[in-house]
Each structure stands twice: as structure tokens, then as C-alpha cells.
Amino acid sequence: MARAQTIDDIPTLPLTQAAYLPGEAFDEMYDGDGTPRAHYREMHKRLLTLSGEDLAERQKTLERSFLLQGITFTVYGADSATERIIPTDLIPRIIAAKEWSRIERGLIQRLKALNLFLADIYGPQQILTDGVLPRELVLGATSYRREMQNIFVPNQAYANVCGSDLIRGKDGEFAVLEDNLRVPSGVSYMLANRDAAKRTFPGTFRAANVRPVERYPDLLLSTLKSMAGWRSNPQVVVMTPGVYNSAYYEHAYLARLMGAPLVEGRDLVVHDNMVYMRTSTGLRRVDVIYRRVDDDFIDPLTFRRDSGLGVAGLFNAYRAGNVVICNAPGTGVADDKAVYAYVPQIIRYYLGEDPILPNIETFLCREPAQLSHVLANLDKLVVKAVGASGGYGMLIGPHASAKERADFAVALKADPDNYVAQPTIQLSTAPCLVNGHIEPRHVALRPFILSGEKTVVTPGALTRVALRRGSLVVNSSQGGGSKDTWVLSEGKSKP
Amino acid sequence: MMLARVADSLYWIGRYLERAEHLSRLSDVMLNATLDHTEAASQAAHIALSAVGDHDIARSAKPFEAARALVLDREDSNSVIMSLAQARENARQVRDQITTETWERLNLLYLKVTGDDAEADFSAGSSAWLHDIIADLHLFKGAADATMSHGEGWRFLMLGAYIERAQLIARLLEVCFGDGKGKKPTDHIALMSLLRMACALEPYLRVYTAEIEPRFILEFLLLNEEFPRSIRFSTAQMEDHLSRIVRPGDTAPGASPERLAGRLKARLQYADVEALQANGASALLSTVLDECAAIHEAIFETYVAYPLELRLPA
């Protein structure tokens, strides 16, 4: 009888030790000795049986299905517009039940504290009086909206939908990289990726006992409705900047699955501080607006005057308490990158608890001592502009050229208040299909937290992938992709 | 209850898809007929091109070029490819209001006609390619019928399709039976092509047998009660859909679209076939076109662009 083949004897299989050489970073699938971790065992076994052609075929089916469903974003060229699908990897990333329960508790704790923080700074500002954060750091942030001062927000839930970015460093511990409290996106990809993964790995999925994510739209709707508890059946709408927005697919998707109308600014009118939508039979009152339009553009009378995306008078209707805007305007101040450095203190201040999920060590360049440390260590640090997002306006020291670093140092010295720096984290890696081989790529995790009357975390997430070898930037605007995330159940998995 | 903008988009999806189907069929019939170098062939090409407003005689001498322009010209906003692109753009804007089954049919069709292979596939086998486009459009209609609620949204979709259809058939008939200059088709094969352009050959044969007479064709395409592409049938459908869409309490000034459609339906219902034959169909056909334009305006004024002051809560 022939000896069972070792994986190295099967060169046609894409998952071979030779092809998969984990680097420095923590790997999600293999432990330090190269043995698959317990929660990855089923998936690992399955991957060993699939050839490169099998996987490529499945990848093609997945991409075709995304294109057909219209899960695309549009790239505008000089004279044409091309639709592309978001790069998607078919191998799911798996998280063990115990790890998830810590993440879940940590995220709920964090969002509760941040909502209390928002209620405080747009109210009595006790935390500033007590000197926990420098007053000018909060009130001087560009994302601070003084128009929100003393406005009643139901449930004190300012950020109803939050997508935090978590990363896992070399030590294998999850930490929060940033909070997204403005208009976080990506949840539709979480759901679309799940749908695809179920079709790609049905047997493995069943055996692994994965927790479902499909309730998200339903939870979102009840969160939004809980924001207008005084209306017996509040009319919820999703507000989109329109079909040219890169996240339009997601806006339409959520509206469809919630059964809520998808409106644009031009569909709404404000009369006597009430908001109405123009229906085919007349005007109809709107109670809750889940807006996917940035603060600046929601109301030209209050915010940017040159914006045509919003509704004139919307903010006054909000101030009068006749409509609820979700997320509340001004939540951006709590995900400001300088305020981020204080989140552990914010959690202790409002909840009297230690943070469950740690922050990444952050240097505030506004402090002269920290600035000189940052300037001396530019080649080791990641420097970010406080107001920016999406991977723009940042320097990754170890990957930058000497000239880029020198240029950035000039900008830094000119406006130190605008920058923070963090050590370069080797994000953990997970197996991805690259050119017919399974190779490790750096990943980050974006779970979604909903907060209304209650705060809940959907047991799943969008795993974002830096598809270029060695790259640490996972933003879709910078060549990142995504994959499904399986959160396993507590119970024993069924055979 | 639906957004006014959504109602408008669904209506336009109906119109654009009907237009795309009609142009695909005209092109297909024209290409097929002009394989023969006969009088019938040039008559067929003349009918098809005149019906889409192209009176350039020189074009009908090059039917393949003409058909390719009707189908694939991105500069012409009425071409098949642009109609499908606009229908799909409208569908994207109301993606939350149409079913996934319906959307996927349309998206697939759009990806096919705008794909890199479209030009080559059309040149290699235009007849098969157009046949597939028409079949895909039928699949879309089937999916819409079978998966969408037959409520307001679906009715706006149907309304657009039937108004467009009535107008397209009326233009086709104007070319053949109107007062305008140009030769009228008399050739048996050319008349068969005319019936094919209205997708009417087989149903016509069931009623009139292979006796193909211009007056029967006129009667069939204008006044038949049961044939889904006759103008009378389309008008009856328009009236039916309009009567079932909830009307706003206060009506805008001007005639209601439902009343206009009912009036046109009655005219066609009681039209005198003898008189049509004696005096020509021109007057009735231009009434049809004018009334359809008026109904289109009235729908827009009543359901989409109504003045706000009429609808504010008391």
C-alpha cells in the first residue's frame, strides 16, 4: 500500500508549504510551528483537496455573480466609465468563538463610552472641565459641529452605526486601529461575501458551525425605529448622495432589505420644520433618516452652501425634534485621530472600567516632546493626518523613500496639530488566493456595531485585505479587497 | 406608496425597453428581408428606416450599416444599446424597488450589449444576436410579471411600455398608410415584413389566413382587441393601469391621464373601418400620436412633477 502523500508531493495543489511562507506577522491559519490552528482545521483540510484550477473556477464564478448582481463601483475615466467589482477573495477568514466574545464585549463597551462622550461634549462638557482631554483638541477639531450643541438625541445614541477597524499585531492580540462613526460602509460586502462563501464552501461552512450575519438589515431597521420611539410606526428612509456615489450599491441594498425607500436630497422637502418625501400620490412624512451623506452635505442652509445633495431646512427640522438623523451630525469628532488617543481614558471616565480592547500606542504631534520623538523615528512610524480617512494623507515610514519622509517632516513641522503617529504594526496575515496559489496577505477586521435603544454587534465582519504582497494598506481606495469572516459558534461543531 | 422619482424611473424603464425591443426587431426583419435583391427588399428597408425617422434613401441601400447604427450607435440616444443603457441606469437608481430576478435579467442584457464582444458578435451573426436580445427582453418581462408585486411600481413599468408601444406601432403604420410621400408597400413579401416588424405575422394569419391585404393589416394593428401589439389593445392597457394607480386627492390643473387614455380607447373602440378605408388612416394615426404625447405629459404632471402647494398637509 502506498504511503499517504505529504502535501509537498502534490505540486498541483495550490496550498503547499512552499507557496505559503508566512512572514514575520501573526498568521490567522498557521501557528508558529506551521500547524493549522484548531478553528481553521476544517478549512485547511478542504484547501488541501482543491487544485489551482478548482479555486480559479470558483473565483471566476464568484466574480461573475458579483458583476451580475451589480456589486460594483464605477471608475470614471477621461471619456468613459467602467464598472469594476470590489476585489474579493474567496477564502474566508475564521475567528474562534472565545476570541469573538471578547471582541464583542470590547466593541460594545467602546461604543457606549463614545456615545456618552458625544452626549457630554455636545452638552455639559464635563469631561473637558475635568481636564481629561485638552479643550482645544475637541472643540478645535474640524469634525466638531457647534450646531449640535444642546440638541436632544434620543437614547443618547449619536453614532447608531459604527464600523471599527481592528487589527491583530505580532503578539496575536486584537487592538482597535480606528473607530468609524460618520458614515461607515462595507456592510453590504459582508453580506455579499457571506452569500458567496456559502456557495463556494458549503460543506466546510456547515461543518464549521458559523454564526449567521443575515439579520443585519433587520437589526438596523429596529435600531433606526428605536430612535423615534414616540411614533407608533416611524417612517424610515435611507438617504443616498445618488447613483454616482461609490457606495451606492450598498445604499440600495440596505434600503431593499429593510423595505425602506431609498431617497435622494431632491426627493425630500421641509415644510414647517417637518420633513416629507415626494411620493407619486403626494407628500408623506419622514421620521428617521438613515443618511449616507456626509455632515457637510446634508443641509445647505446649515452646512456647506454649495452642496446640492442635501435638503434645505433639514437641520432645523432635526433641531425641532421632528425628524431623527442617523448617525447624528458631528459624530466625527469622536473618531478624530487625536481624540482616538484618549479613548482608553474616555472609557475609564464614563464607565469606570478598563478598556477590553486596547488602543494602538499613539503619539500626538501637538505635544512638542512627542513631536520630536516622531521626527526622530519617522522611518519606523506611521503618520496620519487627524481629519483624513480612507488611507489618504498618511506616511508609512518603513515603506517610504528618504525623500518622502523628508517632505512629510516639513509638513509635520508646519502643522503638528494636524498629525498623529503610531508604530508600524505588522498586521496579521490570512490565506488568500493569488494567481492560483494560496499566499498570506495582511488583513484587518471591520465589525459593525449598531446602537439605538440597545447596542448590538453582528457576529461577523468585513475582513479587508491588502492584496499587494507585503502591503499594509487595506483601504479599497488603495488597492485593498475583502473577504468573508466566519465567527464560529460556542457549541461544539457538528461533524 | 412610492417616491415620485421612482415612479418616473420605472415608467422610463418600460419605455426604453419597449424601444430597444422594437428597434431590435425592425433591424432583424430588415436585415433578413434585404438578403433578397428584390423590390420587396427595398420596400422593407424603407419601411423600417422611415418608421424610426430616417428618411435618407441612401441609407436603405446599405441595410447592414443602417442596422448596426440602429443597434450599436452610442451617439444616437435612441439606439438599442443606448436604450438599454438608460433603462439599466434607471433601474440602478430604483434598485431597491425592483426584484433581484428582474434586475439581473436587465443587468445581464446590459453587460452583453456593452461588452467588448458586442460589435464582433453582431457582425458575425446579427440575426442570432438580435434574436437573443429580443428573447432576453422577453425574459425580463416574464421575470417582472412573475416576481414583482403587481402594485403601483409594476403598473408604471407597464404604462411606459404600452405608451411607447402604441407610439411605435403608430409610426410604423403612418409610414405605410399615412398621407406622406413615398411609396406604399404593395408587395406581398414586403407586407409580410411589415407584419413581422410588429411581431404580428403569426397572430395575423390566425385571423385573416394567408390573405395579406393592406387594409386587413391596418385593421389588425390598429383596432384588434386581442393582439397585444395593436394600438387599441395598448390603449386599453394604459387606461386600465392608470385607473388602478391611486390618484392623488387634489388633481393638478389639466386633464387627468386616465381620462385622456379612456377617450383615446373609446375612439379606437368605435372607429369606423369603412370610413378609414375610404378616407385613409392618417387623421386617426396622428390623433393617436398626439394623444399619447398628451397622456405622457399628464402622467408626468400628475404623479411626478406636481406643484407642491397642492399637496401640502392641511
Q: Which phi and psi angles does A425 have, rounded to 5°?
A: -95, 130
**Judged by CB atoms within 8 Å, which residues 10-69 of A form the interface with B?**
67-69
Residue closest to B18 by CA, chosen among B144, B200, B127, B167: B167
- The predicted-structure confidence for B198-229, as pLDDT tens digits, reads as follows 999 999 999 999 899 999 999 999 999 999 99
Whether residue A6 is predicted with pLDDT greater than 50 in this model: the reply is no
Nearest to B311 among A70, A249, A283 (CB): A283
Q: Which phi and psi angles does A192 have, rounded to 5°?
A: -70, -40
A11 pLDDT band (50/70/90 cuts)?
A: very low
Q: Which of A322, A344, A377 is the last residue of a domain?
A: A322
The torsion defined by the Cα of A15, A16, A19 and A21, in degrees rounded to 10, comes to 100
One domain, residues A239 and A317: yes
Quote the strand ranges of A245-380, DSSP E. Answer: 262-263, 268-271, 274-279, 282-285, 288-291, 324-326, 363-364
Position A66 in a domain: yes
Position A113 in a domain: no
Contact with chain B for residue A315, Cβ under 8 A: no
Contact A280 B312 (CB under 8 A): no
Range of the domain at A52: 7-91
3-state secondary structure B94-119: CHHHCCHHHHHHHHHHHHHHHCCCHH
Region for residue A34 given its phi and psi (left: phi exceeds 0; alpha: psi -120 to 50; beta: otherwise) = left
Chosen for mutation from B96, B140, B149 (greatest number of chain A CBs closer than 10 Å) is: B96
Position A302 in a domain: yes
- Cα angle at A194 between A189 and A199, to 5 degrees? 130
Average pLDDT of the segment spanning A13-37: 76
Contact with chain B for residue A245, Cβ under 8 A: no
Distance of alpha carbon B117 from alpha carbon A55, whole angstroms: 26
Nearest to B1 among A69, A276, A284 (CB): A284
What is the residue whose three cell numbers read 455639559? A124
Nearest to B3 among A269, A271, A277 (CB): A277
Residue B138: which H helix or E strand, with range? helix B126-147
Contact B245 A280 (CB under 8 A): yes
Q: What is the CATH number of the domain that holds A254?
A: 3.40.50.11290
DSSP annotation of A95: E
Chosen for mutation from A280, A281, A290 (greatest number of chain B CBs closer than 10 Å) is: A280
One domain, residues A317 and A373: no
Q: What is the CATH number of the domain that holds A382?
A: 3.30.1490.270
pLDDT confidence of residue B249: 63
- The distance from CA A218 to its chain's CA centroid, rounded to whole angstroms, is 19
Residue closest to B197 by CA, chosen among B16, B78, B31, B69: B31
- The predicted-structure confidence for B90-100, as pLDDT tens digits, reads as follows 999 999 899 99
Residues of chain A contacting B4 with CB distance shorter than 8 Å: 267, 278-280
Residues of chain B contacting A262 with CB distance shorter than 8 Å: 94-97
Chosen for mutation from A188, A281, A285 (greatest number of chain B CBs closer than 10 Å) is: A281
Position A196 in a domain: no
Position A37 in a domain: yes
B310 pLDDT band (50/70/90 cuts)?
A: confident
Please tell me the distance in Å from A204's CA to the nearest CA on chain B: 27
pLDDT confidence of residue B184: 78
Average pLDDT of the segment spanning A137-155: 94
Distance of alpha carbon B289 from alpha carbon B180, whole angstroms: 15
CA closest to B307 among chain A residues: A282
A5 pLDDT band (50/70/90 cuts)?
A: very low
Residues of chain A contacting B303 with CB distance shorter than 8 Å: 280-281
Nearest to A280 among B89, B95, B303 (CB): B303
Average confidence score pLDDT of chain A:
89
- Cα angle at B101 between B95 and B107, to 5 degrees? 60
One domain, residues A239 and A315: yes
Chosen for mutation from B2, B75, B90, B95 (greatest number of chain A CBs closer than 10 Å) is: B95
Contact B92 A280 (CB under 8 A): no
Nearest to B313 among A242, A278, A283 (CB): A283
Position A355 in a domain: no
- The distance from CA A191 to its chain's CA centroid, rounded to whole angstroms, is 14
The two beta strands, A462-466 and A394-396, are: unpaired
Residue closest to B161 by CA, chosen among B147, B133, B141: B141
pLDDT confidence of residue A43: 92
Position A24 in a domain: yes
Position A301 in a domain: yes
Contact with chain B for residue A261, Cβ under 8 A: yes
- The predicted-structure confidence for A335-378, as pLDDT tens digits, reads as follows 999 999 999 999 999 999 999 999 999 999 988 999 999 999 99
Nearest to B92 among A70, A261, A279 (CB): A70
For A406, the grid coordinates are: 523628508
Number of domains comprising chain A: 3
Average pLDDT of the segment spanning B76-95: 94
What is the residue whose three cell numbers read 436585415? B31
Contact B247 A279 (CB under 8 A): no
- Cα angle at B143 between B228 and B151, to 5 degrees? 75
- The predicted-structure confidence for A97-108, as pLDDT tens digits, reads as follows 999 999 999 999
- Cα angle at A193 between A187 and A195, to 5 degrees? 110
C-alpha distances out from residue A6 to A48, A50, A52, B21, B94, Å = 10, 15, 17, 59, 54
C-alpha distances out from residue A395 to A399, A402, A415, B271, Å = 8, 12, 15, 78
Helix (H, G, I), strand (E, B) or coil at A90: strand
Dihedral over Cα of A244, A249, A250, A251: its sign: positive
- The predicted-structure confidence for A384-405, as pLDDT tens digits, reads as follows 888 666 666 788 888 888 898 8
Chain A to chain B, count of Cβ pairs less than 8 Å apart?
A: 88
Global confidence as pTM: 0.91
Domain boundaries, chain B: 4-307
Instruction: Check residues B263 and B254 and name the one with the higher pLDDT.
Output: B263
CA closest to A266 among chain B residues: B5
